[in-house]
Chains A and B, each alone.
Chain A
Amino acid sequence: MVSEHLTSSEGRPLALDEASRARERQFWLSLYEQMLTIRLFEEQVNELYMSAKMPGLAHLYSGEEAVAVGVCAALRRDDYITSTHRGHGHCLAKGAAVDRMFAELLGKQPGYCRGKGGSMHIADQESGNLGANAIVGGSAGIATGAALSCKRRGSGQVVVCFFGDGALGQGLLYEAMNMAALWQLPVIYVCENNLYNEYTPNRETTAGDMLARPRAFGIHTEEVDGQDVRAVYAAAVRLVERARRGEGPAYLQCNTYRFYGHHVGDIQRSYYRSREEEEWWKAQRDPLKLLGSWLREQGLAEDSHFAEIERRVRAMIEAGVRFALEAPYPDPQEVAQHVYA
């Protein structure tokens, strides 16, 4: 059972037998590897944008990796997620492959959506990803409907609806949460509070206590350090198991930070947030550093483990980019395909 993994925040090493240590090492290093995959994926996306190899733009997830990875580690493959315009992390954490992700970002035929969706619309039915959504808050209804579907079918699946603090300005979210609470649906609303609605601090956009909003519907609500993957995972396991038992919806606010701007082209950011603030988050609250330090303190992993992971991930990312750059574009006749099923 995944929930048995160590999620205590204490610094001192835990007394474990060898088998348990191996299990813990393997589990947390796999989460580390997923977070690093997202981090390096996004670095490459930025590169592709800066070198004009990627059309359009992209909203990078760097800095928020612990949220997607911690939450999705608590899910089954057939559980559903809905994602956002800042969605690469959710897709990867739910099980999408790096090469087909890059191919989609470049508008290539082997991409997850045959190049028709792009960065903001990656969907992958195989891994339970119902799609990223470029309308802020736009998938709150879809996620809640998927949860009603799970309940009706008695499938035991749960749904996670990812959204940012910007979505708190959208009425749809409250309509959907109201019905989820009324009908006790197996859906977890995961708010990635990265402090900014695009280019505006959320203190200027969001009145009152954010957590009072889901609580007003009687929805079980928790708040967690979104940079600590162990804390996110522990909370997600609780809420997912609760939903699976039929105890209804939950709301999890993960306090986090985006290391880049609103999108790849948002370079000059000083008018809405300071360089010092960004540096502090990167130095003190980097989810990769936090998990790495804990693993070292526990004696569960050492430099060689991290070096090996990084080598593996870099090779995968490199191969993925190469695959995407070499992949064919869709045939022009595909433009009129898939308008109707």
Chain B
Amino acid sequence: MSMPSASSAASAPQVPQAPEGWREITLGQAIREALAEEMRRDPRILLLGEDVAEAGNPFKVLSGLVEEFGPERVIDTPISEAGFTGIGVGLAMTGMRPVVDIMFGDFLTLAMDQIVNQAAKVHYMSGGKLKVPLVVRTTLGATRRSAAQHSQSLHAWFSHIPGLKVVLPSTPYDAKGLLKTAIRDDNPVLFFEDKMMYQLKGLVPEGEYTIPFGVADIKREGSDLTIVATSSMVQVALAAATELEQLGISAEVIDPRTTSPLDKQTLIESAKKTSRVIVVDEGYQSYGVTAEIAAVISEGAFYYLDAPVKRLGALDVPVPFSPVLEDLTVPTPAAVVEMAKTLCGRA
């Protein structure tokens, strides 16, 4: 199953009504629907985290779940990220399928040993005998005026670790389908939700669907330039592409959707077609996702490129509080447009 139109989730649909069999929901609703449907399907699924039950988490993404599934399956924990993530690993190793909620991605630092040294390595260290079907749901993204310890996008760290899978949905459709796949996967999966996108609306079909990992989605087709964008940056890239169209530059926007596994083939094919590439991601630029993707494309499409692959990540500074400063740290459509113009010789 695919979206009725590649860009309908991003720009407001031209038609006022959703096509037959599709409806418009927010990204937050998509997450909740995926969790609820999976929990109805499989009694082994438990949710654990801070304020996940009655509070429904600070973003209200989980509202209603404890009412339907009870406190035995939607479990409020103490403020102990390492402890309840470790409990998630133990649950997963012994026949349950936990979904652990790390409220802000910045708090992943507290659970780092349990994710990186335990969850990621158990299957390999045991010679393939033990499995850890664990989902760690968490958030990323700045511009919520939350300062340096509630605003980071740390998905690159986990993409670096063998044994982990990393998912970065950018639309309600992708969020629902990818979260279902994450829950059904037998490996530890880090699922990053952009906290500024919970209210983003988009079309999802009625009924069951899943989206496989490692399959990039072409959010918009184009011929002059490829913009590879993840999570929050997909909307930025699409806005930039609309502007570039006015300037006569046709931009293709590709969302890898998962950084581990990474759909190298689709990225390389697009680069071969357009010969110019910008990679946009909200993680810190240095040593980040943009660097890895740029390297993959440079190696895979070297003879087809007209220019070095350009990168745009978050500014390499702790995220500042003052809105005037914070807004300078995150890639914007204007910055992508400027870079694209330069790349296409139109600056």
Contact flags (1/0) for B170-204 with A, using CB distance below 8 Å?
A: 00000000000000001100000000000000000
* B131 closest partner in A (C-beta): A341
In the complex, what's the smallest C-beta–C-beta distance from B52 to chain A, in angstroms? 14
Interface-central residue, B78, B80, B83, by most chain A CB under 10 Å: B83
CA distance A149 to B46 in the complex (A): 10
* B85 closest partner in A (C-beta): A141
Q: Is the beta-carbon distance between B91 and A135 smaller than 8 angstroms?
A: no
In-complex Cβ contact of A149 among B90, B125, B165 (8 A): B90
In chain B, positions 52-90 with a C-beta closer than 8 Å to chain A are 72, 77-78, 80, 82-90
Q: Is the beta-carbon distance between A340 and B187 smaller than 8 angstroms?
A: yes
CB-CB under 8 A from A153, the residues of chain B are 95-96
In-complex Cβ contact of A135 among B46, B113, B163 (8 A): B113
Number of B interface residues, CB 8 Å?
A: 42
* B43 closest partner in A (C-beta): A152
A164 at interface by CB-CB < 8 Å: no
Q: Is the beta-carbon distance between B95 and A149 smaller than 8 angstroms?
A: yes
CB-CB under 8 A from B265, the residues of chain A are none
User: Which one of A33-41, A170-178, A191-199, A223-231 is at the B interface?
Assistant: A170-178
Q: Is the beta-carbon distance between A123 and B86 smaller than 8 angstroms?
A: no
Contact A176:B83 (CB < 8 A) given known A153-B95, A338-B124: yes
In the complex, what's the smallest C-beta–C-beta distance from B150 to chain A, in angstroms? 21
A96 at interface by CB-CB < 8 Å: no
User: Which one of A107-115, A254-262, A310-318 is at the B interface?
Assistant: A107-115
B19 at interface by CB-CB < 8 Å: no
Q: Is the beta-carbon distance between B83 and A141 smaller than 8 angstroms?
A: yes
CA distance A138 to B211 in the complex (A): 34
CB-CB under 8 A from A175, the residues of chain B are 78, 80, 82-84, 86
A16 at interface by CB-CB < 8 Å: no
In-complex Cβ contact of A123 among B92, B126, B162 (8 A): B126
CA distance A124 to B82 in the complex (A): 25
User: Which one of B114-122, B141-149, B224-232, B276-284 is at the A interface?
Assistant: B114-122
Q: Is the beta-carbon distance between B123 and A338 smaller than 8 angstroms?
A: yes
Q: Is the beta-carbon distance between B129 and A142 smaller than 8 angstroms?
A: no
In chain B, positions 134-173 with a C-beta closer than 8 Å to chain A are 162-163, 165
CA distance A130 to B118 in the complex (A): 11
Number of A interface residues, CB 8 Å?
A: 43
A179 at interface by CB-CB < 8 Å: yes
In the complex, what's the smallest C-beta–C-beta distance from A208 to chain B, in angstroms? 21
B127 at interface by CB-CB < 8 Å: yes
In the complex, what's the smallest C-beta–C-beta distance from B58 to chain A, in angstroms? 21
CB-CB under 8 A from B87, the residues of chain A are 141-142, 144-145, 148, 176, 179
A121 at interface by CB-CB < 8 Å: yes
CA distance A198 to B124 in the complex (A): 27
* B185 closest partner in A (C-beta): A341
In chain A, positions 90-130 with a C-beta closer than 8 Å to chain B are 111-117, 121, 123-125, 130
A284 at interface by CB-CB < 8 Å: no
Q: Is the beta-carbon distance between A341 and B77 smaller than 8 angstroms?
A: no
CA distance A175 to B82 in the complex (A): 8
In the complex, what's the smallest C-beta–C-beta distance from A184 to chain B, in angstroms? 13
In chain A, positions 57-88 with a C-beta closer than 8 Å to chain B are 80
* A147 closest partner in B (C-beta): B90
In the complex, what's the smallest C-beta–C-beta distance from A132 to chain B, in angstroms? 9
CB-CB under 8 A from B91, the residues of chain A are 145-146, 148-149, 152
CA distance A117 to B94 in the complex (A): 19
Interface-central residue, B86, B113, B131, by most chain A CB under 10 Å: B86
* A178 closest partner in B (C-beta): B78
Q: Is the beta-carbon distance between B89 and A145 smaller than 8 angstroms?
A: yes
Supply 15 further A-B pairs (C-beta < 8 A) apart from A112-B127, A123-B126, A141-B82.
A117-B126, A139-B118, A141-B86, A141-B88, A144-B87, A145-B89, A145-B91, A152-B91, A153-B95, A153-B96, A178-B78, A179-B83, A338-B123, A338-B126, A341-B187
> Could you pull out 28 A-B pairs where Cβ atoms are within 8 angstroms?
A80-B94, A111-B127, A113-B127, A116-B124, A117-B127, A123-B130, A125-B126, A125-B129, A130-B94, A138-B117, A140-B83, A141-B82, A141-B85, A141-B88, A142-B89, A142-B118, A144-B87, A145-B86, A145-B89, A145-B91, A146-B93, A148-B90, A175-B80, A175-B86, A176-B86, A178-B83, A179-B80, A341-B133
